[in-house]
Amino acid sequence: MRPVKKIEIIANSFELAKILDALDKSGVHGHAVIRNVAGKGLRGTTEDLDHTMLDNVYIIAFCAPDLLNQVVDNIRPLLNKFGGTCYVTDTQEIRSVRCIS
């Protein structure tokens, strides 16, 4: 196992390409995207897709700890301009190199 940082971003789907480009420029080349996310944010406002007509996305990515500052530097301006949230946590990656047949 090795330590990695888990990056979770919830943002408007309109900005998805910009966010993924910022992650890629930061050295984070893998990610997963879940579309049509709704919820209630820290501000207490409900982000109900039926009322806003906009869909949100949930982006999850992982990076080496030494890349985190670059990720934050590239993601923060987008979130400040277009809205959204980003959370970073410490986690462990299990590397598997043996194939089971």
Exposed e or buried b for every residue in 63-83, given b needs 16+ CB within 10 A?
A: beeebbebbeebbeebbeeee
C-beta separation of 87 from 11 below 8 A? no
On the question of pLDDT at 50 being above 50, the answer is no
Q: What is the pTM of this model?
A: 0.83
Of residues 99 and 69, the one with the higher pLDDT is 69
Q: How far apart are CA 28 and CA 54, in angstroms?
A: 26
Q: What is the per-residue pLDDT for 97? A: 72
On the question of pLDDT at 28 being above 60, the answer is yes
Of residues 30 and 46, the one with the higher pLDDT is 30
